Amino acid sequence: MKLHHLLLAILITAIWGFNFSVIKLGLHSVDPLMLAAIRFALCALPAILFIPRPNVPWRYIAGYGLVFGIGLWGVVNLGIKSGLSAGIASLVLQFSAFFTILLGGWVFKEKITRFQLAGIVIALGGLSSIILIADGSVSVTGLALVLFGALAWSVANIIIKKAKTTQVFAFLVWSSAFAPLPLLLLDYGVNGTQGYGVLVAQMDWRAVSSILFQVYPNTLFAYWVWNSLLRQYPVSTVAPLSLLVPIFGMLGSALIFNERLSAIKVVAVLLIVCGLAVGLYGERIRQALSKRLTRTA
């Protein structure tokens, strides 16, 4: 990978990691579901007026929008609001990789390797460590919600794979249009008219900055760049860099909210990231080492 592409990829992982702290800033003044609704409304508009609909069935566009907008980010917002720190949320959400492996095995009959199973076991050790954290940065409700969000993300990955779209940016824009209205209706069901009545009064610079960051750098720009890199380089070259996301997530939470990085949090990060590395890339590393040993023999 060329150096400027590598630096660009690292920038994207930093944006995605810091985004969890940015979400928490927005939640100081906007309801979680309403914050997600505004985010996806701006992801769809005005771009949807200029970008042709991707050539895939409506069920995939609508399904992805509902799962990605509500099941993932609406629920993650609720999890952070429920007391889970931004750093821990960014870490726990990486379990989507394992959920995707398990769902892929069920839906597409893909074989689950021993490295993937080993990675899951290692990462579960990290999740167990998170449960033991008692400094106020973890809540059981928040942890459960973000784990649900990780499951929703894996479902969204399955939808993308079944849709087989090559028009990723258009797919993202059009699918975003299906999330705002259900999110607003859910917010009304939970909070009544309270969230709507005080939205304008509560909207401060933190909320505006949070929304704009989530829409443009984090969603539209970052996903466009990331998918562009995936088209230029092998997945095995680009994908491992996503392991940096929880690192930047923890760093962002420490810098913005003064979250203390205790020893148990460091252990949790190491276990989950190592579990991800073993589960996603263990087989490739074994094959590479095997080929090298064969050549030198």
Residue 156 DSSP symbol:
H
Per-residue model confidence (pLDDT) at position 144: 94
- If you compute the radius of gyration of the chain from its CA atoms, what whole number of angstroms results? 19
Closest CA to 145 of 184, 95, 194: 95
Domain that holds residue 108: 3-296
Per-residue model confidence (pLDDT) at position 236: 55
The C-alpha atoms of residue 284 and residue 297 are separated, in whole angstroms, by 20
Q: What mean pLDDT, rounded, does the chain reach?
A: 86
Per-residue model confidence (pLDDT) at position 121: 86
Between the CA atoms of 22, 23, 28 and 30, what dihedral angle is there, to the nearest 10 degrees? 130
Q: Which two tokens stand for residue 225?
A: 């760049």
- How would residue 120 be classed by pLDDT, with cut points 50, 70 and 90? confident
Per-residue model confidence (pLDDT) at position 126: 83
- Residue 55 φ/ψ, nearest 5 degrees: -85, 65
The whole-model pTM stands at 0.86
12-26, 92-106, 243-257: segment of lowest average pLDDT: 92-106
| Contacts for 258 with CB less than 8 Å, ≥ 6 apart | none
Mean pLDDT, residues 126-141: 80
pLDDT at 235 over 60: no
- Residue 112 φ/ψ, nearest 5 degrees: -95, 120
C-beta of residue 89 within 8 angstroms of C-beta of residue 146: yes
Q: Domain count of the chain?
A: 1
- How would residue 91 be classed by pLDDT, with cut points 50, 70 and 90? confident
17-21, 231-235, 273-277: segment of lowest average pLDDT: 231-235
The pLDDT tens digits of the residues spanning 150-183 come to: 999 889 888 888 888 888 889 999 999 999 999 9
The C-alpha atoms of residue 93 and residue 149 are separated, in whole angstroms, by 7
Per-residue model confidence (pLDDT) at position 74: 96
The C-alpha atoms of residue 124 and residue 268 are separated, in whole angstroms, by 9
- Greater model confidence, 4 or 58: 58
